[in-house]
Amino acid sequence: METRQYIDLDTPLMNFGDSQSCFTIRDAVSGLSITGNTGSGKSTGSAANFALKYLKAGMGGLVLTVKPSDRRDWVKYCIHTGREKDLIIVEPGGRHRFNALKYISQEKDGERAITDNIVEVLNTVIRAEEDRQVRSDDSFWENALTTLMSMMVDLCLIAFGKVTIDDLYNIVQSLPRPNETLNDAIEPNSQSAFRQAYKLAKLSIDKKVATWKQKRTAEGNNQFANQSAYEEALYDAVPDARQFNYITEYFWNSFRFLSPKTRSLVEYIFSGFLYSFLREPVYSLFSKGESTFKPEDCFEGKIILLCLPIKKYHRVGRLCQTQFKYIWQRAVEKRVVDDYSLPVFLWSDEAQNTVHEHDSDFLATARSSRVATVFISQNLPNYYAAMGGEKGKYRVASMLANLSCKIFHSCTCIETNKWASDLVGEDYMPDPSMNISISQNNFTSGQNLSLKLQKVFRPEKFTTLKVGGASSNYNVEAIIYKQGDPIHRNKNYSIINFKQFF
C-alpha cells in the first residue's frame, strides 16, 4: 500500500527579493494574477518560471490553451521537469476523451445526479458566452431557458436514465406545437424525438406505479381517504411520478402556448449551444463514448492539457474549455482535503477567454481546496469585455481580489497601470528641497530632506519595465505585490527579475 506524503504548505517554491523571502505552496494556493502587454515577457518570464516550479513540486493540474504553441510549451515544461508521463493531452485525433454529460449525470453514492447540477453546468457556459456579447439584464429570458433545460434533462433521465447531447438536441428540435395534443404524443406511431422520449418516460412511470399498487394490494393496504392522500402516498413511493406530472404540465399547458418570440429565442439559444458540441472534433472528444480520464485524476498528479486552442477553434474551443473548467472546479471543491492532499493548479493564459460567473466564488475558497490558480491576461479591460462590460467591473474586481499575489509586467494600459499603482499604494519617500537666498552682498543656500507620502510606483513606471531579450540578457522585469509576508525591506512589494525560459 502506497504511503501518502505529508504536504507542508510552507515549502518554498521560488525565492525573490531579500534572501529570506520566498514564494511558498501556501502563496500558490492563494492565487496568482499576471498581467502585461503582448511582448512584455510575461509568458517566457514569470509564467514559465511559475509553471516549472509547480511541476517540480509534483502538482497535478488543468491547463487551458489559447495559442497553438501552448501545447509545445507545456510538453517542453513537462519534459524539463520529468513530468511527461503525467501529461494527459486532450486533442483532436488523440486517444483521450471526456464525455461531459455522462460524467455529470452518472450515479454517485447510489443517487442519481440532481438535475440542477447538470443545468448549472450548461447554463454557466451559455451565460459566459452571452457576457462576451453584453447580455441583457432581463432575467425573464434566462429563467425561461433554465426552466426548459431543467424539464428536458428530467425528461431524459426518466426516459433513458441518462442525458446526452444528441438526445437534448433532437428533443429541443421537436417540442410540441400549439396545434398538437397530448394524445398525439402517446400515439404508437409517433416518431419525433420528443414524443419518443415522452412515451418512454410515461411507460417507465406507469410500470413503477403498477408495481407500487400491486405491492400495496398484496399487503391489503390499498385504501385512501381521498385523492390527495393517494397522490401523497404515490409521490413518496415513486418520486419520478411527481416530476413526470410537472413535465407534462410544463410542455402541454405552458411551453406549448408560449409566445412565438419567447419560444423561438430560448429554442434558438439552447439548440445553437448544443449544436456546437455535436460537430467534430468536439463531438468525439466531449460528447460520446467512455471517458479515458476524469477531473479527479489531477489529485493524483496528472496534468490535463486541453489542446483546443481558441485561436484555432475559436468559439467552440472556448465553449469546450469553459465547460470542462467549470466541471473541474466543481470536482475540486468536492474533494475532501487533509494535510496529505496534493495541491493542484488551474492554469489559464489569456484567462479572459474562459472566465465565468462562478470564478469569484471558486477563488474565495481555493486555498482550502489547495488549488493554485494562475490567471494571465494583458490588462483589466480584457476581463471587463469578457464579463459584461461596464456592469461586469465589480465581478472582475471581486475575482482579482481573490488572487492574492499580483505580478505586473510592462504595460501601456492606463487603467491597468492606475489600478496597479493604487494597489501597491503610498509610502513615505525622501523629498529633498533646496533653499537659496540672494542679497546684495550675500549668496546663501541650504538643503533640507523630509519625508513625503506619495505613490510607491507611479502609473508610468509600469511602462518602463524591461521586456527581456538579448538587450537585457534575457531578464524580464516585473513588479510583484504579495499579500502577507514582506518581500523586500519589510515591504510586500518589489521589482524583481525573471530569467526567460524558451
Residue type, 384: Y
Which pLDDT does position 439 carry in this prediction? 65
Strands (E), 341-442: 344-348, 371-377, 405-408, 426-438
**Cα(467)–Cα(474) distance, integer angstroms:** 8
Residue 271, judged by CB atoms within 10 A of its CB (0-12, 13-18, 19+), counts as middle
Q: pLDDT value at position 392?
A: 83
Is there a contact between 311 and 68 (Cβ–Cβ < 8 Å)? yes
d(CA 108, CA 289): 19
The C-alpha atoms of residue 457 and residue 419 are separated, in whole angstroms, by 11
Average pLDDT over residues 18-47: 91
| Residues 75-130: tens digit of each pLDDT | 999 999 999 999 999 999 999 999 999 898 775 644 456 788 899 999 999 988 88
**293-319 pLDDT tens trace:** 999 999 999 999 999 999 999 999 999
pLDDT digits (tens, 9 = 90+) for 232-275: 999 999 999 999 999 999 999 999 988 888 899 899 999 999 99
- Distance of alpha carbon 85 from alpha carbon 231, whole angstroms: 57
Strands (E), 9-118: 12-15, 22-24, 32-35, 60-64, 87-90
How far, in Å, CA of 127 to CA of 136, rounded?
Answer: 10
> Can you give the pLDDT at residue 355?
96
**Can you tell me the distance from the alpha carbon of 229 to that of 46, in angstroms, rounded to the nearest whole number?**
67
Q: Report how far Cα 6 is from the mean position of its chain's Cα atoms.
A: 28
Distance CA 240, CA 183 (A): 21
* pLDDT classification of 182: cutoffs 50, 70, 90: confident
pLDDT tens readout for residues 403-433: 999 999 999 999 999 999 999 998 877 777 6
pTM: 0.90
